[in-house]
Amino acid sequence: MLFWILVAALTAAVAIVLLLPLMRAASPLPSAHSHDIEVYRDQLEELERDRGAGLISEEDAELARAEIARRLLAASAADEPAGRSVPKQLSSNRMAQIFILLCLPAVGLGLYLTTGSPGVPAQPLAERLANPGEDINILIAKAENHLAFNPEDGAGWDVLAPIYMRSGRVDDAVAAYDRAIRLIGPTPARLGGYAEALIVQSGGLVTAEAQDALKKALALDPHDPRSEFYLALGLKQEGKQAAALAAFRKLADTSPADAPWLPLVTQHIAELANRTPADGGAAPADPTSDDIAAAEEMNAGDRQAMIRGMVDSLAARLKNDPANIEGWLRLVRSYVVLDQRNKAEDALREGLKEFPAKGNEGKQLLALGRELGLDAGGEQE
């Protein structure tokens, strides 16, 4: 109802602004004879003054009065057509007024019926915030407004975190999940959501922080498919192909036949099965973090020889076959573990030449570089 009152008031205001100039009575335009009429009237008055003062005889005064009156009548007769044009102008103004009063509301109503929604009930802001429906922006605004005054409400952060993820605000989702976990404790869902947000934030790389959250989630729920999937993906990214293949196969065996994640799991299994040797072991000369850690138990000479041989072998293979994202990720990590950061940065840049930063593989390399504190140089652009 308020809307229609405002519309009526605005329409009336516009109509008044347009009608005011038309409602003023038009002053008649001066004619060519109006000045002559004034002159003749002044002459009659002057003639009466002269006659009264005895400056002219009565006979001469009568003759002069008759001549001036004749001229006055002739000028008045010539001035009458200009006076008769005023009613015609008033009639024209009246038609314009009627046109504005009828057409202005009709045009406004037609536009509203065409572009508006007259059947939708009024929804003030307070009512929309109370019943946001499917409007995700209102949901976020409502939650943020509440948490601004109640920052220790862990349940509120728990509700807001997945909404942030759905709306693409990944950094905010990471922060919201972190606060919810600290305030009301970890659950598989919260830890899994937190890890997933970290993975998206890092461009698809399963970082060490994400792996830690996923392992905690699995400790609470050993059959959490999301945690199993991302941990298997992390193994694949680290180059532990046999372990990754076993993890993906285990997930496939324990998943329902109609599980939505099963096609993706099957795809990873097919890729790993083509790369992994038949005996299930890791490919020779592909050093992993576990390989290098085991080498720490050897004497200094043997350890350095073993590590140098594995890393050099991997680097040589990547020169011959650079289209191997897992190999570049392993090589960068290996150099960092060996505390050869300059070589790690060189390997990172070489990998980015093969996998540009705009692609998914390039984003994984950049995310790994950020995690390890490496400088990728101009290859980031």
Residue 368 scores a pLDDT above 90: no
Residue 93 scores a pLDDT above 80: no
pLDDT tens, residue by residue, 4-21: 567 667 777 776 776 666
Which of 289, 321, 320, 323 has the alpha carbon at shortest distance from 307? 289
pTM summary value: 0.47
**CA atoms of 258 and 223, how far apart (whole Å):** 17
For 5, 21, 24, 104, 117, the CA distances from 14, given in Å and listed in that order, are 14, 13, 17, 9, 23
What is the average per-residue pLDDT within 170-188?
93
CATH class of 289-376: mainly alpha
Count CB atoms within 10 A of the CB of residue 369: 25
Domain map of the chain by residue range? Answer: 131-238, 289-376
Identical fold for domains 131-238 and 289-376, yes or no, is yes
DSSP letters, 241-279, are: HHHHHHHHHHHHHHS-TT-TTHHHHHHHHHHHHHHS-TT
What is the average per-residue pLDDT within 128-137?
58
Buried b / exposed e across 206-217, counting CB within 10 Å, b at 16+? Answer: bbebbbebbebb
**CA atoms of 203 and 297, how far apart (whole Å):** 35
**CA atoms of 243 and 381, how far apart (whole Å):** 34
Q: How confident is the model at residue 276 (pLDDT cuts 50, 70, 90)?
A: low
For residues 167 and 140, is the Cβ–Cβ distance under 8 A? yes
Residue 296 scores a pLDDT above 80: no
Give the residue, 131 or 272, on which the prediction is more confident. 272
Residue 362 scores a pLDDT above 50: yes
Residue 26 scores a pLDDT above 70: no
For residue 120, what are its two tokens?
């939708």
Least confident of 182-186, 213-217, 273-277, 362-366: 273-277
CATH number of 131-238: 1.25.40.10
